[in-house]
Chains A and B, each alone.
Chain A
Amino acid sequence: MAKAPAKAAQTTAPDKLSNTPSASKEDLLRFYREMVLIRRFEERAGQLYGMGLIGGFCHLYIGQEAVAVGVQESVRQGHDKIITGYRDHGHMLAAGMDPKEVMAELTGRIGGSSRGKGGSMHMFDVPTGFYGGHGIVGAQVSLGTGLAFAGKYRGDDSVAFVYFGDGASNQGQVYESFNMAQLWKLPAIYIIENNQYAMGTSIERSSSTTQLSQRGASFGIPGEQVDGMDVLAVRDAVKKAVERARAGEGPYILEVKTYRYRGHSMSDPAKYRTKEEVDEVKKTRDPIDHIKALLAAANATEEELKVIDNEIKAIVAEAVQFAQESPEPDPSELYTDVYVEA
């Protein structure tokens, strides 16, 4: 097997968004649809949280939509595996999970994907290859490396897409995993969603080196930075990394530069950054505005987008209704699913 280059290739995120569409109008419309679904879903989740219908922690993905949607373009559904941390709603929707089940899990109802027992941070869906939804920061990196190990063990050319954030990138087990992944040439794509804040701590205050794409350098894992507000840039970078992994060349690190518009969780007033900073990103780098611009250039009409908007509105409304109408789990569910009956 070819040895991975010791020094990783690096590209810096472009200052300007890509204005050269390299996707068909049909693809662009699909990306638009998926990104709008995530945003509208998350907005309503935030609203339901405010109404007391969603409890506990609730980490919204608004602002980061282009990452999950761009990555998903390389996922072979039902074959590849996806794993992430606690900010997982966007990944699940992009993976193809039913918005009704996701929303009903948020409200803790029996119709939820975990039958109400997991909540926001702990959802799973085997048919779409979504392996969670993990609440312990960084745990998904070792687990995801294990998903990749299983793919290599079976020799089925599947790939594991392992999402984590800039915060998790300082956990020790991330590097334990990098070492094994490269040592055994495991088909793991490590996607670091660098939204620049680990809860309230900016990357500059938490990380001795902030070029997270280079965090695999001492293990010989190549990496690159990607503009995470540009769905096409994400799609293209992931595609290359996946081809490499499927060919048995081992793991790859994509540091996807993104931004979350909301606080870390619903209870976070986000006072560690200025309103101007957030507004500037929303105004100049919003991933949905970006895809809209690409669609305009591809001669998509307002009417076409309006049709999608309305469709999404209906899907989210249906999810919200389902999540409120689905009953709470029966008390008898308390003791189910603790063990698999042998």
Chain B
Amino acid sequence: MTDILMPALSPTMEEGTLTKWHIKAGDTVSAGQVIAEIETDKATMEVEAVDEGEVLEILVAEGSENVKVNTPIARLAGEDGAAAPAPKAEAQADAPKATAEGKTGDPEKAPAQTSTPKVELRDPEIPADAKLVKTTIRDALRDAMAEEMRRDDKVFLIGEEVAQYQGAYKVSRELLQEFGDQRVVDTPITEHGFAGLGVGAAMAGLKPIVEFMTFNFAMQAIDHIINSAAKTLYMSGGQIRAPIVFRGPNGAASRVGAQHSQDYSAWYAQVPGLKVIAPYDAADAKGLLKAAIRDPNPVVFLEHEMMYGLEFDVPEIEDYVVPIGKAKVRREGKDVTITAHSRMVGFALQAAEKLAEEGIECEVVDLRTLRPLDTDTIVESVKKTSRLVSAEEGWGPMGVGAEVVARVIEHAFDYLDAPPLRVHQEDVPLPYAANLEALSLPGVDKIIAAVKQVMA
């Protein structure tokens, strides 16, 4: 007997929907035969058999959702040993439903980041009676782009696989269908070139959204982001604008190794002329991306691959725009301030919940925008709590946390009861091995340890 297991079809897939079986009990399958279709959060994939033999039993019925990776889904007569089918890497054009929740490879053993944090202060600008709609970050970003493209015909999206493929992470799903190939532009694999082309188009008055498949690839284009986009307004004495958004996933995905797993927050946040945004939830993803597209300056918009499939409440408000440059207190507390951005906000909130059980009340400040950094909100919080832990996914030296700590020391030194601490990735390129990767990345446990240390 050989079990066919639910395959992992992407680095971040933990579960999927078994949309279709092409075989039934009694059939004989041969290696390479397409036996099923599985829908992930990114695409619908065909699955091929690796082993040969008679199908004894279908274990998971067609249409089953949230089937965990490695679950036996069918059983073959034949030689012993479990065999995983080989995925046929062929995404289909039809758009998948974004149902993914938890992800594999989470260094914190997949903490329940899907659950909306219990204590979350709403942005004051959201009316109390606004309807909240559960939306994935992926769709919130798409909605933001679609709304802005409807609003302004100078806005267009350009990047690799953004059009026909519907986005490598399906963030641009259905945009080609609505706006056509003039405004949703597939590029060759040519980051340096299309980033420069985008900046040139922005200088000429268009409003490009340049998608990098990941910000790791944007290192090939960083000259145009910094030298061409960020500096030209200044160098031209205010004459030449570059209203452009560079966006895409930033930071570590899961088990993709050092070259695909870097957090560029600190890199871009150091550059005058750029605005840098790193949202945590779907409402901010939408509201801040809309603000970024409207902003007359170049904006680096850092998303997180591990979060695209997560659902959050998004207010159903016409034209929901979140102002750039404002941090958000996500949880109030009196004992210690934790600053975080992007995915680390979720870990900080989980750490705060656990610490609350021990009687430590953390205030979690979601930075949201890294440049300009909302110093006031951070300082006000530290004046209240007198203790600070910063949390970021990137490396520590010269990092976002270093900047936050420096500002707090400058503006609230006398309020501090303990030396501030920084939580960050270990000072090594991100390793591939699952255990080493988990050791390297910061998460809930490291935040808890740091909070206890500043409370000691």
Residues of A within 8 A of B (CB): 81, 83, 112-118, 122-126, 131-136, 139, 141-151, 153, 160, 172-173, 176-177, 179-180, 183, 336-340, 342
Contacts A118-B236, A183-B188, A337-B233 given; indicate if A151 touches B273 (C-beta within 8 A): no
The winner among A83, A118, A172, A179 for most chain B CB atoms within 10 A is: A118
Whether the Cβ atoms of B240 and A143 lie closer than 8 Å is no
Question: Could you say which residues of chain B place their CB within 8 Å of the CB of A148?
Answer: 200
Question: Smallest CB-CB separation from B190: which chain A residue?
Answer: A176
Closest CB of chain B to A238's CB: distance in Å?
Answer: 20
Closest CB of chain A to B274's CB: distance in Å?
Answer: 9
Contacts A146-B199, A153-B206 given; indicate if A114 touches B233 (C-beta within 8 A): no
Closest CB of chain B to A142's CB: distance in Å?
Answer: 2
Whether the Cβ atoms of A342 and B238 lie closer than 8 Å is no
Whether the Cβ atoms of B192 and A172 lie closer than 8 Å is yes
Chain A to chain B contacts (Cβ below 8 Å), 10 pairs: A117-B236, A124-B237, A131-B240, A139-B223, A142-B200, A149-B197, A150-B206, A160-B200, A177-B196, A177-B197
Whether the Cβ atoms of B193 and A114 lie closer than 8 Å is no
Whether the Cβ atoms of A131 and B204 lie closer than 8 Å is yes
Report the Cα distance A145→B198, complex, angstroms: 9
Q: At the interface with chain A, which of B25-33, B123-131, B277-285, B292-300?
A: B292-300
Whether the Cβ atoms of B233 and A116 lie closer than 8 Å is no
Whether the Cβ atoms of A143 and B235 lie closer than 8 Å is no
Contacts A117-B234, A136-B227, A176-B192 given; indicate if A146 touches B201 (C-beta within 8 A): yes
Question: Smallest CB-CB separation from B325: which chain A residue?
Answer: A342
Question: Could you say which residues of chain A place their CB within 8 Å of the CB of B190?
Answer: 176, 179-180
Question: Smallest CB-CB separation from B296: which chain A residue?
Answer: A340
Describe A's contact surface by its main secondary structure: mixed
Contacts A116-B237, A149-B200, A149-B201 given; indicate if A180 touches B223 (C-beta within 8 A): no
- Chain A CB within 8 A of B232 CB: yes
Whether the Cβ atoms of B228 and A143 lie closer than 8 Å is yes
Report the Cα distance A133→B187, complex, angstroms: 26
Closest CB of chain A to B403's CB: distance in Å?
Answer: 18
Question: Could you say which residues of chain A place their CB within 8 Å of the CB of B243?
Answer: 340
Whether the Cβ atoms of B192 and A173 lie closer than 8 Å is yes
Contacts A180-B190, A339-B297 given; indicate if A147 touches B235 (C-beta within 8 A): no
Question: Could you say which residues of chain B place their CB within 8 Å of the CB of A118?
Answer: 235-237
Closest CB of chain A to B273's CB: distance in Å?
Answer: 6
The winner among B156, B205, B237 for most chain A CB atoms within 10 A is: B237
The winner among B192, B272, B273 for most chain A CB atoms within 10 A is: B192
Closest CB of chain A to B391's CB: distance in Å?
Answer: 28
Whether the Cβ atoms of A336 and B196 lie closer than 8 Å is no
- Chain A CB within 8 A of B312 CB: no
Whether the Cβ atoms of B188 and A179 lie closer than 8 Å is yes
Question: Smallest CB-CB separation from B191: which chain A residue?
Answer: A176
Closest CB of chain A to B236's CB: distance in Å?
Answer: 4
Number of A-B residue pairs with CB-CB distance less than 8 Å in the complex they form: 149
Partner of A136, one of B204, B223, B236: B223
Whether the Cβ atoms of B238 and A337 lie closer than 8 Å is yes
Report the Cα distance A142→B197, complex, angstroms: 5
Report the Cα distance A148→B206, complex, angstroms: 12
- Chain A CB within 8 A of B241 CB: yes
Question: Smallest CB-CB separation from A158: which chain B residue?
Answer: B204
Question: Could you say which residues of chain A place their CB within 8 Å of the CB of B201?
Answer: 146-147, 149-150, 153
- Chain A CB within 8 A of B8 CB: no
Report the Cα distance A147→B239, complex, angstroms: 16
Whether the Cβ atoms of B236 and A122 lie closer than 8 Å is yes
Closest CB of chain A to B430's CB: distance in Å?
Answer: 27
Whether the Cβ atoms of A143 and B297 lie closer than 8 Å is no
Question: Could you say which residues of chain B place their CB within 8 Å of the CB of A179?
Answer: 188, 190, 193
Question: Smallest CB-CB separation from A340: which chain B residue?
Answer: B296
Contacts A115-B238, A134-B228 given; indicate if A342 touches B197 (C-beta within 8 A): no
Question: Smallest CB-CB separation from B295: which chain A residue?
Answer: A342
Question: Smallest CB-CB separation from A105: which chain B residue?
Answer: B237
Partner of B240, one of A132, A141, A183: A132
Contacts A139-B223, A149-B201 given; indicate if A176 touches B239 (C-beta within 8 A): no
Bits for B182-215, please: 1 = Cβ < 8 Å to A, else 0: 1000011010111111111111111000000000
Report the Cα distance A139→B195, complex, angstroms: 10
Question: Could you say which residues of chain A place their CB within 8 Å of the CB of B194?
Answer: 142, 176, 180
- Chain A CB within 8 A of B224 CB: yes
Whether the Cβ atoms of A142 and B192 lie closer than 8 Å is yes
Question: Could you say which residues of chain A place their CB within 8 Å of the CB of B236?
Answer: 114, 117-118, 122-124, 132, 337
